[in-house]
Each structure stands twice: as structure tokens, then as C-alpha cells.
Amino acid sequence: RPTSGAPAPRPTSRPTREEGHEGDFVVAGYVENWKTWDTGDLDGYNTLLYSFLTLDPQPNPDQPRDLRWDGVAIYESMTRADVLDVMDATEPLYENPHNWQRQKIVGLMDFCAATGKRFVWAFGGWSDLKRTIADDQVDALVDQLVALLKLGGDGIDFDWEHLSDAKDSDPALYAQQRVVVGKVIVALKDALVAEGMDDAIISYTPRYNAFFTSDGAFGNAPIRTDGEGIDVLNYVSEHSTFGADAIDYVHYMMYDIDAREGFAEATEGYFVEEHYDAVIESSLPYIDVSKIVMGFEPGPQAYTGKWGGEEHDRATIALLRPVIGGVMFWAVNDVKVSPQNGRTVGQNSNALAAFAAPAGVDAVADDAGNAVLDKLNALGIAHQTYAHAAVPTIEEQTRGVGSPPGRP
């Protein structure tokens, strides 16, 4: 069964950015492959995630199919063809029937290479298969992922969003699905190392409650997907020779739900500082803080999600930046228009990505005055607590170190 018990030992913390690793901070943007994009808008990012590869040859955003992978191919969702066929550099290229999309992908790869960015394949998404893969399909899937990375790309991001769907209907399937991502990650890391590709990125993208338990210990309201990250990380930590370091980053989808549904005492529809603190604190027994990449969708969101506005996101990023490993945005070319500022989600994402760069945060912090600077200094204290992997004690909490007073 999935377990939410005692975590496996966490890896040794990497040096903090205050010790000279400022360049490690991730500013990631997801690129919707069903929309056009302009690389001239993407200077603020150092990681771009091409979205999506799927297990389903016919991904359906309105009604994801309750099926398991056919084992035939990993599909590029625009062409609905085997991504290995899509990326085949035929001679001449026009003999590749999918070259119309291959040209776009290669163009984005070339842009990333020329500007020092990472190109990562985002794999999954809401539209993909609900039953993902069986345990006996792990090796076949990993072989195809390695073959793809040999053709191009700097890594794989696992965004499998239906791992808890069978919780109330099929206990055996639920138990298998809650750890299958971990099984794929362990096998993929070993395969990449064996091929001399150990610098390839492996990231994992759950919802914000990945490390919450359903007892409300972090002020959270119980949700079916609670603890997915606990199951995945416990498996990876136990079975990989790299421990939790088999995963480079965890991207948190901290959007698409009204904060009042996610946290029992929330008073606004959007997430606020104490909610971000809860997410960070819940993660620390399982991953180093440098692996935390916090997600934003700045504008209209799916389901019941509410946006707090651009200034709210800027203030949040300024507070988080000294503490965590990065931020990510859905999506760089999303065309939904926000009624709050009349700009698209993509435009808001790109502006916030530019702000997340060191110079942007420093400049705005200076402009904002002592209130922001005081908070940054306070988070400097918290950062030392997080960086050394210590979950704050009750005594520390009452002194305001690491988390709000009174949180279990």
C-alpha cells in the first residue's frame, strides 16, 4: 500500500545560493505546443518545457481516457505520432510527414542552446491517460525516453495528474499508481547514468499538496491527491542508489484550486504567504529545499483557481526567492486574458519570469521599501533552517523561526 509514514533520510543539502550558487535558481516556463510562441518573449527563463508528450495517442482535455498505455510509443500530442518518428531527421527532411512540427521543436531547442537555456520535455498533463503504465511497462518506457533524449533535449518532466483517481474505486490500482512515477524515475536515472547522460534533468510535477497528509497537519483541507509526493519520494529514496537526488526538481502546481478549498482557514481565493510556507515545510522531510520549484498561473485558471494579481505574485516571488530552488509558470504562450490587467497569462508569465531574475527581484525590493526588505531578512533566517533540512520544533515555531506559530 502507499505509505505516508516516516520519510527516508534526506540527501545532504547543497550549498545555499548565499554561498555562491545564485545561478542555480530555476525560472521555468511551460510552452503550450498547440499555440504559437515567440522566442523573443522568453528571455527571462532559463528552462523551457515543451508541453506535452503523452501516453495517449488521442489526449482528451475534456474527458481523459480511463486506459493504460498501449506500450507502442510515446506520443507528441500535436502530431499524435510517435515522438521518435516526429524527431527523425530524414534526408531530405520533407520526407518526414511530421516535419511541420519538428521544425518548431528544433527551433525552440536551438533557441535554448544559443541562449544557455534548458529544453525539457514535459510528459503527461491533464489530458493524458488515467491509468498511466503498468509495472511491467517501466523498462520499455524508459528505453523510449532515453532514445528521445539522445535525439535532443535536456531532460524529462513527469506531469502525471491522475495518480489518485482510483482512490475510492480500485484500491489495488490506486496503490500501484501512487508509486509508479517513482519506479519510472529510478529506472530512468539508472539508464541515463549508464548511457553517460547523468546530467539530464528529471523533474516531477505534482500539485501543491504533494507532501500533505490528510489529517490537516499543515492547515490543509483533505484532498484526494494528498501525499502523492510522499509515496513517490519514499519509493525513490528507498530504491535509487542516488536517493532523493534521482529527482532534480519538484515543480508544484500551486494553482487551479481556490485557496479556501485547499486550506481550512483561508480567507481569500488565492494562496498567501502562510500557504507557501506550509508547502515548503511539508516538503522538507523528503527533499532538499533547493529542489522546490513553486508554480504560478498568472491569470484565469482551471477548475476553481483564483489569481491574486501581478503585484501579489511579485511580492510572493520576492519572498520565496532567497529560500527555494526556483519558480515555474504555466504557460509562456497561454492566450487567456486576465480581467485584472487585460493581459494574457503568457504575457503575465513572461513579465514575472523577467522579474524573478536576480536583478529584477533586487530592484523591486529596493523600490518596495523597508517592509519587503525586512521580510527578506526574516526569510534569510528561515532559509538557514530550511537549508539544513531541520523541520522547526514547536519551540522554534513559537519564536517565529521557520514556520508560523502553532503549526503542528
**No. of helices (H) and no. of strands (E), the chain:** 12, 10
Q: Are 237 and 183 in contact (CB under 8 A)?
A: no
- pLDDT value at position 153? 98
Give the global pTM.
0.86
C-alpha cell at 226: 494528498
Q: Kind and range of the H or E element at 314?
A: helix 310-320
From residue 294, how far is each of 154, 178, 190, 249, 283 by CA, in Å? 20, 22, 27, 10, 12
Which pLDDT tens digits describe the chain residue by residue (408 residues)? 333 444 333 333 323 334 333 458 999 999 999 999 999 999 999 999 999 999 999 999 999 999 999 999 999 999 999 999 999 999 999 999 999 999 999 999 999 999 999 999 999 999 999 999 999 999 999 999 999 999 999 999 999 999 999 999 999 999 999 999 999 999 999 999 999 999 999 999 999 999 999 999 999 999 999 999 999 999 999 999 999 999 999 999 999 999 999 999 999 999 999 999 999 999 999 999 999 999 999 999 999 999 999 999 999 999 999 999 999 999 999 999 999 999 999 999 999 999 998 655 554 444 433 433 444 454 443 433 333 233 332 233 323 333 222 222
Q: Residue 72: is it exposed, middle or buried by C-beta count within 10 angstroms (0-12/13-18/19+)?
A: exposed
Q: How many CA atoms lie within 13 A of 329 on its CB side?
A: 35
At 202, phi and psi to the nearest 5? -120, 115
